[in-house]
């Protein structure tokens, strides 16, 4: 698992990386805000590292910038994939506090699948709005209870329960229990 200093360091540079990607696209803050459906003050605060976006807000921003969540957090120095990964090798894609998405593999360029070890603190969610992307995803709840909304259908899953859906449908996940929720999931292709 990422150490607190590593998580803090990643968060400290998140806004700078978003700003650099926005400028590479030739977008103003207002242009990015309009295309992502977020407010320009919110985008400015993210770029100044004054706030950390939810997973769904970050997905909206990165979608406009044509960058996947996986690529945004990939280790550009790690080009080779290996067959086995220790827990400390997994790459944190979320805040790591309320929501943790730990990706198997540091760089998934040219990969067909993304495998995640997800953790949701009690009450944590992927954000108020559902998000969508071009893929399919599935997972198995290992521990706790997870409320999943796909389109207009909501279901609460417990240990051993699973899901598999078309990710082009808006979807949202929330831990509705007082205990931590753990999920192992896969996304293909890796557009998340």
Q: Is the domain of 102 the same as that of 161?
A: yes
Number of Cβ within a 10 Å radius of residue 112: 8
Please say if the pLDDT value at position 99 is more than 60.
yes
Q: How far apart are CA 118 and CA 124, in angstroms?
A: 12
Supply 51's token pair. 């706030």
pTM of the entire structure?
Answer: 0.67
d(CA 3, CA 110): 28
According to the 3-state scheme, what is the secondary structure of 56-78? HHHHHHHHHCCCCHHHHHCCCCC
Whether residue 44 sits in one domain with residue 138: no
Identify which of 129, 110, 116, 115 has the alpha carbon closest to the alpha carbon of residue 55: 129
Q: Cα 192 to the chain's mean position, in Å? A: 7
Final residue belonging to a domain, choices 66, 82, 98: 66
Residues 162 and 128 in one domain: yes
pLDDT digits (tens, 9 = 90+) for 128-140: 778 888 899 999 9
pLDDT in tens, 163-182: 999 999 999 999 999 999 99
State how many domains the chain has.
Answer: 2
> Is 100 found in the same domain as 53?
no
Domain span holding position 157: 73-188
pLDDT tens, residue by residue, 44-81: 999 999 988 888 888 899 989 988 877 787 665 555 56
């Amino acid at each position: 698992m990422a150490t607190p200093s590593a998580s803090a360091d990643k968060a400290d540079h998140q806004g700078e990386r978003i700003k650099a990607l926005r400028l590479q696209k030739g977008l103003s803050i207002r242009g990015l805000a309009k295309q992502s459906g977020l407010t320009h003050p919110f985008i400015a605060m993210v770029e100044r590292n004054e706030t950390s976006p939810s997973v769904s807000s970050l997905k909206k921003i990165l979608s406009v910038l044509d960058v996947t969540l996986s690529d945004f957090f990939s280790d550009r120095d790690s080009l080779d994939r290996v067959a086995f990964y220790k827990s400390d090798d997994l790459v944190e894609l979320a805040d790591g506090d309320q929501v943790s998405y730990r990706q198997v593999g540091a760089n998934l360029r040219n990969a067909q699948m993304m495998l995640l070890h997800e953790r949701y603190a009690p009450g944590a969610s992927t954000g108020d709005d559902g998000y969508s992307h071009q893929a399919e995803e599935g997972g198995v709840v290992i521990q706790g209870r997870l409320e999943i909304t796909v389109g207009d259908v909501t279901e609460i899953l417990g240990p051993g329960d699973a899901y598999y859906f078309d990710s082009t449908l808006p979807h949202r996940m929330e831990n509705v229990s007082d205990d931590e929720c753990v999920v192992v999931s896969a996304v293909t292709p890796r557009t998340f």
